Structure 1
Amino acid sequence: MRFRAKIVDLGCLNHFTRVSNTISKLAKTCTLRLSPDKLYFILSDKVANGGVSMWCELAQPSLSSSSRIVTHDIPVGVIPRKLWTDFREPTVPDFDVSIYLPVLKTMKSVVERMKNISNHVVIEANLKGEMNLKIETDLVCITTHFKDLGNPSWASEDASQDRDSENMAEARIDIKKLLQFLAGQQVNPTKALCNIVHNRIVHFILLHEDVSLQYFIPALS
């Protein structure tokens, strides 16, 4: 079966292309869910089994009779209705720390260098706008510090009253999965956030106008 889509504005086409190129860097295949006002790109690997998970929303533009129409056929497989509940928006566990990310290109450059030394990276952050990327081997320990990143307003509101703002929440994750996420970004987010559930999961959120992308990387034991 083939899926035929029509994009009625060249600006929207370029925007859609950037989003789809980002998705293609994160997954070989994904689920596309359609609604009257949004497109959803879904990757639902089981985080509990070590797989990453992704949820991306893209608002559909209003139609314009004066716009050009671009048509492209894509082979697809249709998901039976009885399985639709398997492709709902992932629930986010109560996180210990939420923090704004540094410039993604800078973060990507750091992680690329670290990848040559270790297969894993520890990402840690606190409620004072501080984040560290660490790798540890038998021979070397390397840490990159980021300061004054800021924490979203809900971070201080939802934080436990007995949690010290300087205490770090951390998760040890697959460095290749982190680099894959950073290397694939073409949406140029206006906001990029990271939520950490201590020793359980790292949850990234990218926001740009009518696009939001969530990416979940499970912690390693």
Structure 2
Amino acid sequence: MKFRGKIIDVACLNHFTRVITTISKLTKMCVLRLTPLNLFFVLSGKVANGGVSMWCELSQENFFDEFQMEGVSPEDNEICLEVTPENLSRALKTVQNARAVKLKLTSKHCPCLTIAAELPTLSSASRLVTHDVPVEVIPRRLWHEFKEPGMPDFDVSIYLPPLKTMKNVIDRMKNLSNFLVVEANLSGQMNLKIDTDLVSVSTHFKDLGNPPWGAEGSQQGGPSPSRDPDAMARTRVDIRKLQQFLVGQQVNPSKAMCNIVHERVVHLILLHEDVSLQYFIPAVA
């Protein structure tokens, strides 16, 4: 197994660091899947058991000036590594003004993702800074756990309101309850609600719009064409998991969407021109 990548463009390095930092806010550990064309950051929580899951996909050519890898075999040309994204984020933040940054899979006292940066100095010479981020190589027999999740057979798909607005609302609501009901319909309306013995609070959004992909009906993974556009699909979730998703966002997406499987799961999608991030929050009873 071999992996080596090089980033020269400062804007690409900053963007890559923001993506890693976002992931570090969502999970302490995740799996980095390397393929010849893409990088994937995967959190494979068992939604059925109450765990969140995440799938983040990056096109390597949009970040790396050089990218070389050899997987475990020609037939299985992939590498799967368990990483701590916080360690990766911390290392990248120290080399933001580098002339070039190299990422390489190395074997020191343990397998590592080594980040080597060429930093400018006041003289003509450059300074080389190296960070070794420990990783764990995931064996081939476990790869099936880290494949792309299928699009859920959702009841409603809707565009999200501005993420900063949504975050401000949830920051206030979390002081009143541990749980939040997310509900939406096919008429562009979304409500965020908490309901306790002491207080009931709702925030309403309208005219958000609905993505077109569900229009063909449930065979495309979308809602049934006979569904009442004003009927609300709702799911009760752990408010801290939704807040965690919103607090960490540094991707600055061009589109942000939410799919709701009634009383089962909230599926959040952020799309940037070269990054996609999916986050699944299961329902709580």
TM-score in terms of structure 1 length: 0.94
Partner of 2:101: 70
Distance 1:95 1:161 in 2: 12
Residue 158 of structure 2 aligns to which amino acid in structure 1?
I
Alignment deviations for residues 141-181 of structure 1 (CA, whole Å, 9 cap, x no partner): 10000000000112333232331100000000000000000
Among 61, 85, 101, which residue is 2:144 paired with? 85
Among 210, 213, 221, which residue is 2:274 paired with? 210
Give 1:130 shift: 0.1
Alignment deviations for residues 46-67 of structure 1 (CA, whole Å, 9 cap, x no partner): 1111000000001112526xx9
Distance 2:55 2:205 in 1: 27
The yes-or-no answer on 1:97 pairing with 2:99 is no
- Contact 1:130–1:145 (CA<8 Å) still a contact in 2? yes
Partner of 1:167: 231
The yes-or-no answer on 1:220 pairing with 2:284 is yes
Residue 24 of structure 2 aligns to which amino acid in structure 1?
S
Give 1:5 shift: 5.0
Q: Percent identity?
A: 68
Among 125, 129, 145, which residue is 2:184 paired with? 125
Distance 1:16 1:38 in 2: 13
Distance 1:29 1:153 in 2: 34
- Contact 2:190–2:206 (CA<8 Å) still a contact in 1? yes
Give 1:4 shift: 6.7
Paired residue secondary structure (1:163) = coil
Residue 27 of structure 2 aligns to which amino acid in structure 1?
A
Partner of 1:8: 8
Gaps of 5+ in 1: none
Partner of 1:116: 175
Distance 1:35 1:218 in 2: 29
**How many residues get paired?**
217
Residue 63 of structure 1 aligns to which amino acid in structure 2?
D
Paired residue secondary structure (1:157) = coil
- Contact 1:127–1:156 (CA<8 Å) still a contact in 2? no
Residue 208 of structure 2 aligns to which amino acid in structure 1?
L
- Contact 2:6–2:65 (CA<8 Å) still a contact in 1? no
- Contact 2:22–2:248 (CA<8 Å) still a contact in 1? yes
Distance 1:85 1:173 in 2: 27
Distance 1:203 1:160 in 2: 18
- Contact 2:179–2:239 (CA<8 Å) still a contact in 1? yes
Partner of 2:92: none
Partner of 1:200: 264
Partner of 2:198: 139
Q: Cα RMSD over matched residues? A: 1.5
Gaps of 5+ in 2: 67-97, 103-114, 116-131, 218-222
Paired residue secondary structure (2:137) = coil
Runs in 1 of length 4+ with deviation above 4 angstroms?
A: none
Paired residue secondary structure (1:188) = coil
TM-score in terms of structure 2 length: 0.73
Paired residue secondary structure (2:145) = helix
Further displaced range: 151-160 or 184-193: 151-160
Alignment deviations for residues 4-34 of structure 1 (CA, whole Å, 9 cap, x no partner): 7532322211111000000000001110000
